[in-house]
Structure 1
Amino acid sequence: MATKLLLTFAICRLIATVGLTLDPTELLRLGVDGQLTVDSSDVDTASLDFGLMSRAEPLAVLHPASAEDVVRLVQAAYGSAQGFTVSARGHGHSINGQAQTTNGVVIEMSGGSRGGVWLSPAGKVDSPRVSEKLGYVDVWGGELWIDVLKTTLQYGVAPKSWTDYLYLSVGGTLSNAGISGQAFNHGPQISNVHELDVVTGKGELLTCSEAQNSELFHAVLGGLGQFGIITRARIALEPAPQRVRWIRVLYSNFSAFTRDQEYLISLHGQPAHQKFDYVEGSVIVDEGFINNWRSSFFSPRNPVKISSLGADGGVLYCLEITKNYDESSIDTIDQEVEALLKKLDFIPASVFTTDLPYVDFLDRVHKAELKLRSKGLWDVPHPWLNLFVPKSRIADFDKGVFKGILGNKTSGPILIYPMNKNKWDDRTSVVTPEGDVFYLVALLRSALDTGDETKSLEYLTNQNRQILRFCDEAGIGVKQYLPHYTTQQEWVDHYGDKWGLFNQRKMEFDPRRILATGQRIFKPSSSFKPASW
């Protein structure tokens, strides 16, 4: 009783601060099996994200023990006379406060009482459910991909499509798309899901798939959390390779670089031995950056210099490719790689190769994270900008941005790689540019307080605006990935022809507009009055 009284007092105090009239006993009557808390450390954690560019304190934080806890909370929000908002938070890797809420409850889907626990289709806590015969794994929506990988590898299988960084939640990446160098072949992660359990904005726990509640299924995939909270995902699996041949080659000519990338992704339908398993690329505009953690192949004793390679416009391009293999193909891996490389037009003396276990390749960015953490360079603001650029305009983007706006300074990796649009399902909520092929351009910069103006948060944020303005004025037709806008009109423009369907789905599955208000797409219904709107 004392604990309940203390919680009541704390929530009343918070509500008085922001001017709401929500009765806290609504929350106390939920009877959740997990933990509903207003502890300052929990609130502080939920107030920030990886971007470190915005802060929003929730009224309370829920650590659910089951999908039913999520149902109880959302039902309370949906049925409350005054109401409150609900945001699901995975591992906190949003960039612009997308998983935050000021006048509501944040559901911490990862860690806590749910950490390391998987969910059965019946919604009860169970052991990991890997079906080798049917080729799928059932997983709690807040589980991290690194833990999915570790568990499935025990059965000799693994998911088909990945993100570059594995310390992200399943529900988080499926709410966006989930992309990496395998997307040209298998599509994004949202193209490799058989089934979902979703708690809608009305507090309904529904199982959905292509055949069951298909409208909700397609809405939630890439839906930015607007239509429901993913509590279970059934992920497609394939036999896991044992090792990876990891290769990087350099280009000084952008046309040759993109021509080779587009050729490699055109092989997606070929037998395994006739194609690479992963195709990515990066742009190097800073002489010092070529030898950094993203380019760990290059020896510190013999650093590569942009000037020595005849870079066009002072810019180099790095093609990054892999070939998976195991004991049965170890005798042919050299010949397969050589045959593919012969068809590419890179700088002949720039081949850098290493072999490593499959899990080490997939988890490669985490090792970089540990290095950056040791230097105090991880928990800094991240003004990232991720864009989908149509193939028809990628050369214009190169000229205007890589060789123009960026100059010769950057403070983080710049990724660029093409994907096949036919690997994406247009029925999902994601929007992509026109054309059969489009590129991801990811400017993954970090703002550093070093006294160098070009590394400051203000400089990089302004540069992002300049890039977006350039694309708009040049009519390049980019689409933001992990999008961030501040007005609904910008969201309408982002979704274009899909806006009508997106809005219709919102009214069907979250009619009071209580979910994921940190995305700033829809204002909560009139009874909600968040100070940030």
Structure 2
Amino acid sequence: DIDAAKSFLSSLVNLAEQNINHCSYLPHATPDFTNLSSLELVSSLKKLNLNGNFDFQNTRRVANDFGNRYHFHTMAVLLPKTVSDISITIKHVINMGHNPELTVTARGHGHSLQGQSQSHGGIVISMESLEEPKLHVHTCEQPYVDVSGGELWINILHETLKQGLSPKSWTDYLYLTIGGTLSNAGISGQAFKYGPQINNVHRLEIVTGKGDILNCSATENADLFYGVLGGLGKFGIITRARISLELAPRSVKWIRVLYLDFNLFTKDQEQLISSDNSFDYIEGFVIINRTGLINNWRSTFSPREPLQASQFSSEGKNLYCLEMAKYFNPEETPNSDRFLS
């Protein structure tokens, strides 16, 4: 109901404020990389036998993220070519002894918030630099794709479609890395049907906090498997994943429905996600009407009903929108119309 929704939103606001307060204590100044301990660390990193390399000069490019609020300057960026490069680096840092100020952070496409993929004075691992086999599609009875943790979801889409397949669950924005979304959850409009992305993973390869390279699944190292999925990177770095696929639809019917009443909006959404065979994608969101926003959408308002359309034309009004999609093949007729009456 409306009170439950308000309570949920209040909890989100409190959580956001806690994150902001936490980040306010983090340092913003550029670390001193000229002291003896920093120079010794740099020297030791240069001596590591890696397939990739460290970049000590062009580090500012990883001192930002999608949130664009925090800019923490790192000492070095690891550009790994192999998973062993990551393992060797982490083991080396551990062998140097306990230093709480020296952190190692995995960075995908940098689409995180609050400086989560940055490392103040530490080491950032650029996961997109991995050159081991990026992805391989397996077209068996239960198809799947083996993919590098630094690969983008958009590239998985392009490659799997060549085989008439696609992942079951997506995020709205696809220029994100596999390891990045699986470390969070990977939620979008298919989650009500298939669960988030972390529910559609068969197997992972992980570099642990000790630098060990381990495989894990629901039956092998299960605690690690479930800890890493949605674990925000606290239990290891995802370097490879095996992701479930399904037959890709050839056509889609895409619908947006606008609401003025929040209760009706949530009631309809709950009814749709609990109905059998309604839609394949359902997502609800709030928008603030701006000049031309609704006019740019293909409208279903009848010209003979100007009053109905005018209700949604007020500048600055809060509107509620259900975005839905029904997948089908050209020889089929989508049965979505019966849910729109």
TM-score (normalised: structure 1): 0.53
Partner Cα distance (1:200, 1:175) in 2 = 13
Q: What's 1:262 paired with?
A: 270
Q: Which runs of 5+ in 1 are unaligned?
A: 1-12, 118-124, 343-533
Change (3 A) 1:309 1:46: same
Q: Distance in 1 between matches of 2:307 and 2:61?
A: 42
Residues 201-243 of structure 1: CA deviation (Å, up to 9, x unaligned): 1000000110000111111111111111000011110000112
Per-residue CA distance 1:170-211 (angstroms, 9 max, x = gap): 000001100111011011001111110000110000001100
Identity of aligned residues (%): 46
Give distance in 2, aligned partners of 1:139 and 1:305: 52
Of the candidates 70, 75, 84, which is equivalent to residue 68 of structure 1?
A: 84
Shift of 1:29: 2.6
Q: Give the 5 Å matches for 1:85-484.
A: 85-110=103-128, 112=129, 114=130, 125-126=132-133, 128-133=135-140, 134-267=142-275, 270=276, 274-288=277-291, 290-291=293-294, 296-297=297-298, 308-309=310-311, 314-329=317-332, 332-333=333-334, 336-342=335-341
1:118-175 residue CA offsets vs partner (Å, 9 max, x unmatched): xxxxxxx337321111321110001000001111111111100000000000000001
Paired residues of 1:281 and 1:320 also in contact (CA < 8 A): yes
Which has the higher relative contact order, 1 or 2, with Cα contacts under 8 A spaced 6 or more apart?
Answer: 1
Alpha-carbon distance in 1 for matches of 2:331, 2:222: 40
Is residue 2:71 matched to residue 1:55?
Answer: yes
Counterpart Cα distance in 1 of 2:161 and 2:36: 48
Q: Counterparts of 1:151 and 1:17 in 2: how far apart (Å)?
A: 48
Deviations 1:391-415 (A, max 9, x none): xxxxxxxxxxxxxxxxxxxxxxxxx
In 1: Cα distance, 2:298 partner to 2:234 partner: 41
Aligned to 1:377: none
Task: Tell me the SS of whatever aligns to 1:126.
Answer: coil
Contact 2:250/2:327, CA 8 A, preserved across alignment: yes
Could you say what secondary structure the match of 2:219 adopts?
coil
CA distance in 1, matches of 2:156, 2:86: 22
2-structure distance, mates of 1:107, 1:305: 57
Alignment RMSD: 2.7
Amino acid at match of 2:294: N
Q: 1:340 Cα shift?
A: 1.8
Q: Structure 1: which amino acid aligns with 2:62?
A: A
The offset of 1:339, in angstroms, is 1.3
The residue aligned with 1:31 is 49
Pairwise CA distance, 1:252: 1.5
1:48 aligns to what SS in structure 2? Answer: coil
Give the Cα separation in 1 of the matches to 2:213 and 2:35.
33
In 1, Cα distance between the equivalents of 2:43 and 2:320? 59
Note closer, same or farther for the CA distance 1:50–1:127 as it changes in structure 2 (3 Å cut): closer
Residues 306 and 315 in structure 1, CA contact (< 8 A), matched pair in contact too: no
Return the letter of the residue paired with 1:252.
L
CA shift in 2, pair 1:103/1:305, >3 Å: farther
CA distance in 1, matches of 2:312, 2:331: 41
1:309, CA displacement in angstroms?
A: 1.2
Runs of 5+ consecutive residues of structure 2 not aligned to the other structure:
1-30
Separation in structure 1 between the aligned mates of residue 36 and residue 309 of structure 2, nearest angstrom: 57
Could you tell me how far apart the structure 1 residues matched to 2:61 and 2:307 are? 42
SS at match of 2:34: helix
Whether the aligned pair in 1 keeps the contact of 2:294 and 2:313 (CA below 8 Å) is no
Deviation at 1:305, TM superposition (A): 10
1:55-105 CA-partner distances (Å, limit 9, x unpaired): 111111011111111111111112112553210000011121001111211
Q: Quote the Cα distance in structure 1 between the aligned partners of 2:87 and 2:327.
A: 42
Paired residue secondary structure (1:319): strand
**CA offsets, 1:20-78, max 9 Å, x none?**
474333212321111211122xx011111111101111111011111111111111112
Determine the C-alpha separation between the residues in 2 that align with 1:326 and 1:310: 34
In 2, the alpha carbon distance for the partners of 1:175 and 1:185 equals 20
Distance 1:196 1:282, change over 3 A: same
Q: 2 CA distance for matches of 1:277 and 1:314?
A: 29
How many Å separate the matches in 1 of 2:37 and 2:319? 54
**Contact 1:78 / 1:202 at 8 angstroms: preserved in 2?**
yes
- Structure 1 residues 194 and 305, CA gap change in structure 2 (3 angstroms): farther
CA distance in 1, matches of 2:331, 2:173: 29
**SS at 1:129's partner residue?**
strand
